[in-house]
Structure 1
Amino acid sequence: MAPRLRLLPLVLAGLVPAVATADEVPRVQIEWNLRVRTERVDDDAFARDADATTARLRAGVRFQPGGGFSALVEGEGIAAAGDAYNSGANGRSAYPLVVDAEGAELNQAWLAWKNARVQATVGRQRLLFDNQRWIGNSGWRQNEQTFDALLLEATPRPDLTARYAWLQRVHRVNGDDAIDPLARERALDSHLFELAWKRDVQQLAAYAWLHEDEDVATASTATYGLRSATSTVRDGNGWGLSLELARQRDYANSPLSFSHSYWLIEPSITRRGVAWRAGWEHLGGDGRHALQTPLATLHAFNGWADKFGVTPVGGLEDRYLGAAGKFATNRFDWQLAWHDYRADTGGRYGSEWNAALGFPLGAQLKGLVKIADYRADGFARDTTKAWVQVEWVGHRQYSRGGE
């Protein structure tokens, strides 16, 4: 196979002429995100607990030269106080894993153009499709997941959107210094298609994720699905219903042969600002292989203890209850959830409680306290995780002739 062009050098070469040739007054925005977090992990599979205190600074420059063009160059650096945890890069395998490794890297570098109906973005970028169950940035981790990709979006009419993305490479949350080179990044030849319709309280989407992993052939899959989301919530009252059905099979260079089902049923009701929900998510498995979501935002699904980032070969049935709301004039927000985990092929994995409280610490500062408690019943070991986090997000815009 002839070597393919890498997207990123082409984008970086295009940033300067795009800004310099614009006719309109250019604008430049400096953006930053500083997040400091302590994570403690008590996993019965290890004799030692993990304590990870890390700081992540992400900073970028966004160019808006006019003429429909925009561009972003963004880097990030992660530092840690101590090494009493296994980051995946520090060799501390006697401790539980906390995937927040020290290091610095280019996070995003993309060039985009859009008009009223069409948008194109090329380069290293953050991709968020729908609820991020299949394609996301894993934003909970200090080093987020980004993609070297081409993204095309078209809106032929206000209620209809078509999206296509070609993925050349995924930069994973483990960082550039992970001991396992396959945990750092993967070479891809993946094609993502989605057609979405939205009107009033109803949203519908049909998708095809044709994912070819050129580094790990057994990870290549084709997933076809339909998603429906309805929400009538107004002024803190109403109901909602999310439904999804998909089928995943072997694809492209995969040496395997399989076909698995996925479904989600999640009704919800909101009263006086408190949202109550119940859910049943099914990831099929046959005891030899199971449905996988390797490009997803994994931490947001199947519990915050992260026991099911890779679906067990027996599949996964996650039945859950949850509630969320705000108080103190909407300054504080809280979440509470309970999960019951079972295998698709029979048998029980365990259960888990999750709880979180978010609160303001100033105009641009926000605090978060969060806990996950997993009780094993046939899969993994009892695990408790706790987090305390402070995050500062800001930006400052400049234009020719002043701020």
Structure 2
Amino acid sequence: MSDIADRSLAFEGVKRIEWADRSMPVLRQIRERFAAERPLDGLRVAACMHITTETAGLIRTLQAGGASVALAASNPLSTQDDTAAALVEEYGAEVFARAGTDREGYYAHIHQALETEPDFVLDDGCDLVNTLHTDRTDLLGTVKAGCEQTTTGVIRLHQMAREGALKFPVVAVNDTDTKHMFDNRYGTGQSTLDGIVRATNTLLAGKTVVVAGFGYCGRGLAERARGLGARVVVTEIDPVKALDATMQGFAVQPMARAAVEGDVFITVTGNRDVVNADHLAVMKDGAILANSGHFDVEIDVRALSDMAVEVHHGIRPQTDEYVLADGRRLVLLAEGRLVNLAAAEGHPAAVMDMSFADQALTCAWLATSHASLSPAVHDVPKEIDTEVARLKLASMSVSIDLLTPDQEDYLHSWRIGS
């Protein structure tokens, strides 16, 4: 039995799901193919993902392939209650998610999704896989394989694999080019700034925006903030990424120095305490703090709370103001959680079209290939990534060249000299 906030919201949810579907032509094509071929017939899937209109497109595609799906939220602030209602009432999925639920409710929903005894699991941050390996080890024997679609989750999975703790194969969907190159860079880049602007109505032009982390997410953020007229400072721990940022014309500084200069701080590292008490102590009055990494640990919110003499909650939607003893005000967005999903609507559907196409095709591949995979972290087959890119280009009416037979021979021969 599903646990959602309000089933009467289903009609509104369907309208928004159908709107998103218009911008997801690749997933639509895969859904049609799945409906004809039924590659997931009889399989049970448990997913821990953001409950958004775009995710609904993936769930419908898995169902078209023959799977039954139980869905829990991967972040309580990103749950769209109307989408949850539509998935239950109109599309026949089991959903365990309510917007704004507390930590206890969040994990209760994950446990409810796992009660379906899934064959496959789809994760967004590794909380579902972690729960399986800690609290629900009794279900490990039924799980054949899984997918993970976040950088943070993949990091955790690799650590589990190194320690010999991972008990079934998991495919790092996050690491496909059509996912991280587009979802992380273009999706996170746009949606994070969208969330900050919606929450604060601040003008980014002329501001100093500090981007912590220069992976694909950080690159997208830095590019778009610069495009809006901001001076962008990048903080990094990786010399290669720091060099990349420098060569692209961004200022690169340690956070201790950037903390003094920044007007807006955005963390996208996948690590904890990236903005800590020492940094908070030197920030400007009115500095804005936002996180777009998966978990709410990148900004030390506990330290911020301890330093504050007053907290003004909800001065704008998803905007809390912390007043420090010296009168400075620091503005925290979305409680330090994912600002692009809590204060905005997450990635545009056109971007998630590729990410969820990767997920759907990987699930179909796992249905026939899981038995040959070891309990480790695996890459998505290259042909799936290529197929998604090909379908996306076709949907955009973009044509590319094809190799001639002579070119194919040349590329595959070592006997031809200069």
TM-score (normalizing by structure 2):
0.25
For normalisation by structure 1, the TM-score amounts to: 0.25
Higher relative contact order at CA 8 Å, sep ≥6: structure 1 or structure 2?
2
Q: Point out the structure with the larger helix share.
A: 2
Which structure carries more strand by proportion? 1
